[in-house]
Amino acid sequence: MSAEMIRQIGLALNGVEVQGDGTLVAQCCFPSEFCGFAGHFPGAPILPALVQLLLAREVIHRGAGNLSIGGVSAAKFKRPLKPLEEIEILCHPQPQGEAYMVELRVAGTRASSFNLNLRA
């Protein structure tokens, strides 16, 4: 993970909306030249799981404050995320405090989901 990757994630991410229940919603689209696709996989690029976690962290940072990832659980990656796809990110706050259930969707279909435990 590099500062350049974090910068490019920030550029790909549109504004974050905070819904009435505290859910954070954002959209993004990564161009084919996004550095996160490099080497993953040549000729058939997909968005690495680490980038998906960093994307969720950035949404939470913009919508709820500067928190660090303390742990990840219940991760399910059901479908590859490819360049130029419109990705919707939903971060649902959990009752136990600084934790979110995250969904990444394409065209309304869940591509991945995971729980992020955060710390200040």
Domains and CATH numbers, the chain: 3-119 (3.10.129.10)
Write the CA distances from 88 to 4, 24, 31, 51, 70, integer angstroms.
22, 10, 15, 14, 23
Rounded distance, CA 56 to CA 35, Å? Answer: 17
- Identify the sign of the CA torsion 60, 64, 65, 67: negative
Percent of the chain exceeding pLDDT 90 equals: 82
Q: Mean pLDDT across the stretch 31-48?
A: 92
| Residues recorded for the chain | 120
pLDDT digits (tens, 9 = 90+) for 16-30: 999 999 999 999 999
Average pLDDT over residues 87-93: 98
In the beta sheet, which residues pair with residue 29? none
pLDDT at residue 98 greater than cutoff 90: no
Q: Is the full-model pTM beyond 0.75?
A: yes
The predicted pLDDT at position 75 comes to: 97
- Mean per-residue pLDDT of the chain: 94
- C-alpha distance from residue 71 to each of 2, 46, 68, 100 (Å): 20, 23, 9, 11
Confidence of residue 1 (pLDDT cuts 50, 70, 90): low
Which are the contacts of 7, defined by CB distance < 8 A and separation ≥ 6? none
